[in-house]
Amino acid sequence: MNTSETTRQEADRHASKSWFATIFARPEIGPIGVMLLLFGMLGYFSIPAGEFSWNPFAGEGFNALGIRNNLKVISQLAIIALGAGLLIIAGEFDLSIGSMIGFAGACMAMILRWGFSVIIPYLSFEGGIHLEFFTLLHIPDVSPLGALLITLCFTLFFGWLQGYIVVKSGLPSFIVTLGGLFFLRGLTEVSLRSFNHRPDQAKGATTVTEIPDIKNIVDVPGHGEMEREAAKALPETDLLNILKDVPADTVASLSERLAHTYQRVADAKTAIMTERGVKPLERALENAIESGNEQMVTTIQDKIATFKIDPVVAKSVTDIDIARAYIDTLHSARPIANFFGGDIMEPVFDWLYFPIDWNTNNFGNQFAQGLYSCVMICLIMALLCYVVLSRTQAGNWIYSTGGNLMAAKANGVPTNKVKIALFVFSAFCATIFAACQVFEVNTADAARGNLKELEAIAAAVIGGIVMTGGFGTVLGIIVGAFIFGLAKEAFFYIPGIDGSFYRVFLGLVIVASALLNENIRKRIMGAI
């Protein structure tokens, strides 16, 4: 017999992998593939019919405005998917996210619109038993930061409460937060209706409107703080006065920029009018070719080649125009509102318009002003979540709480605190989402955030988060949000297909991802 008493060890059976195999063993690789596919689809299908280009940025999906709008949808979803995803990794669910968005938005909007009051209700017996309200405290003007902080007090407390009930009762978080879903949505509608009996609001409406455009309040020299649009509508003498104190080089660059814009608009008009003139000739040409009249064909072709109209003359730049353009460059006097609802990267988008001439619409104007600020907020949050989840002790606690609760407990991990903290974080993400919406559109609606909790969970699952907990990454969550957002847009552009097919597609992707995730989980658990 030939026995080999060698020094072979168990570890030797663990073949070392090449970098290629290592990359393809990453759980995010499948979702990233789907994301790239959708990216290509959206790029390709959004190119107008009859044209073709290998450049995905040529179509409407990824022109400047397309990028602006798509990234907004994606990053807003990613913000709540981070909250939902981290909680799922720790083994729990939050179905109250959508209602929390509606609640937080309404809360913030009401405070911005009417101020903040502490009211004590009591039973009154004068003239029949009814409820009366005693106003203990009323602060009429609350800053954007104040409104956000007060709202956070409510939402974070509610998140804490849900977490506390889950860990203390041992009930499935599904059912506890399902209660939260109904409770918060109902509470939002009830509060909005009871506030909206005021004379300045439509009775019984579940919306808040007429909040000033806070992020666009600017400090205009000589006029104090006012909304940007109001400043631009000031009398011409005032506008000229404002311009007096502006440095000469600023005026020069504004003027150069305006001249470019006016010329660009004039060129676009010329192009449109030329096209309008050529169109009937082209139709005639087709007819001529059909009828076989060669002489006619050459004549019309000649006419098309030499077709010309007088170029449209560009508007001249006036000082009033420069003053208005200057007001557009003033920084917001409400940085918090601007942080959530404003735009970012405006200089880049300006540069793309002038001198690059890419960020230009059909009429020659600048297409997109910048990216929505929620893109930056999403990036900051994703980065922080990545560091916490992958690099810190807290991250290891989150993974172990969802991966093996008993093991985590036995090793001294404060699993209850971890779970409660993540319920609070989920509420925080929903509040940030609401803040981005409220400060962007200056309205609130009790119906906001409907079904968002399910979209957030879907994005997390698509991004490789295992539903039973303990497994997943922040990069995966972001990719999941990208897939969700891109699918919505891509299917809209596919010619001859109902836009709602994106839901059919996402339904399939969700189940496929869940199957894949489960397969990965089983492989790691050694079951296959």
- Enumerate binding residues for another protein (CB under 8 A): 9-11, 14, 16, 387-388, 391-394, 396-397, 399-400, 403-404, 406-408, 410-413, 466, 470-471, 521, 523-526
CA–centroid distance for 19 within its chain: 34
- Nearest residue (CB) to another protein, 46 versus 517: 517
- Nearest residue (CB) to another protein, 76 versus 517: 517
- Nearest residue (CB) to another protein, 7 versus 362: 7
Q: How far is the CB of 399 from another protein (least distance, A)?
A: 5
Closest CA to 362 of 274, 278, 261, 268: 268
Q: How far is the CB of 113 from another protein (least distance, A)?
A: 37
State the Cα–Cα distance between residues 77 and 456, nearest whole angstrom.
6
Q: How far is the CB of 413 from another protein (least distance, A)?
A: 5
CA–centroid distance for 2 within its chain: 68
Q: How far is the CB of 432 from another protein (least distance, A)?
A: 19
Residue 283 structure tokens: 């139709």
Looking only at the bridges linking them, the beta strands covering 444-445 and 116-124 are unpaired
Count the neighbouring beta carbons within 10 Å of the beta carbon of residue 417: 14
Query: Contact at 8 Å (CB) between 84 and 97?
Result: yes
- Nearest residue (CB) to another protein, 202 versus 407: 407
- Nearest residue (CB) to another protein, 232 versus 409: 409
Q: How far is the CB of 375 from another protein (least distance, A)?
A: 25
State the Cα–Cα distance between residues 212 and 93, nearest whole angstrom.
36
The burial of 166, by beta-carbon neighbours within 10 Å (0-12 exposed, 13-18 middle, 19 or more buried), is given as buried
- Nearest residue (CB) to another protein, 102 versus 403: 403
User: Would you give the DSSP letter of residue 358?
Assistant: -
* CA-to-CA dists, residue 246 to 183, 201, 224, 228, angstroms: 54, 41, 16, 17
Residue 103 structure tokens: 């609640």
Residue 247 structure tokens: 């440095």
State the Cα–Cα distance between residues 521 and 425, nearest whole angstrom.
26
Residue 175 structure tokens: 């059912």
Q: What are the b/e assignments for 480-507, b being 16+ CB within 10 Å?
A: bbbbbbbbbbbbbbbeeeeeeebeebbe
Closest CA to 378 of 482, 502, 484: 482
Q: How far is the CB of 482 from another protein (least distance, A)?
A: 25
- Determine the angle formed by the axes of helices 144-169 and 97-114, rounding to 10 degrees: 150
Q: How far is the CB of 13 from another protein (least distance, A)?
A: 9
Structure-derived torsion over alpha carbons of residues 259, 261, 267, 268, reported in degrees to the nearest 10:
-170
- Nearest residue (CB) to another protein, 53 versus 519: 519
Q: How far is the CB of 152 from another protein (least distance, A)?
A: 19
Beta bridge partners of 118: 137
- Nearest residue (CB) to another protein, 35 versus 421: 421
Structure-derived torsion over alpha carbons of residues 242, 245, 246, 249, reported in degrees to the nearest 10:
150
- Nearest residue (CB) to another protein, 425 versus 484: 425
Q: How far is the CB of 271 from another protein (least distance, A)?
A: 57
- Nearest residue (CB) to another protein, 173 versus 415: 415
State the Cα–Cα distance between residues 156 and 479, nearest whole angstrom.
27
Q: How far is the CB of 397 from another protein (least distance, A)?
A: 7
- Nearest residue (CB) to another protein, 65 versus 516: 516
Q: How far is the CB of 206 from another protein (least distance, A)?
A: 39
